[in-house]
Amino acid sequence: MIDVSTIKEHAEIIGADGVHVGTVDHVEGDRIKLTKRDSVGGGHEGHHHYIAIELVAEVEGDRVRLSANGDVAVSFEEEADGKPVH
């Protein structure tokens, strides 16, 4: 289990393959809120997306590494209400 207190604001979120997935805005409950600038394309500009804490494999300083590759991890992004983005 990851100690969520080690997840810092503005840390880079990367997939298991090292691909950039987003940037931490902050931790909110059992989810990581991504910065708005990482929620682009497909009509999703201007609001935050979320990633479940359970996808975090490890925290490496200013990087949060997920257990899924980047292209898969983005498919797990959620809206504020918990509905899938994609």
- Residues 78 and 86: their CA atoms lie apart, in Å, by 8
Single pTM value for the model: 0.87
The DSSP bridge partners found for residue 31 are 28, 52
* Residue 70: inside a domain: yes
Q: Above 60 in pLDDT, residue 74?
A: yes
Burial class for 23, CB neighbours closer than 10 Å (0-12, 13-18, 19+): middle
Q: How far is CA 6 from the centre of its chain?
A: 14
Q: Above 60 in pLDDT, residue 52?
A: yes
* Residue 81: inside a domain: no
- Average pLDDT for residues 17-43, to the nearest whole number? 86
Are the C-beta atoms of residues 70 and 20 closer than 8 Å to each other?
yes
CATH number at residue 20: 2.30.30.240
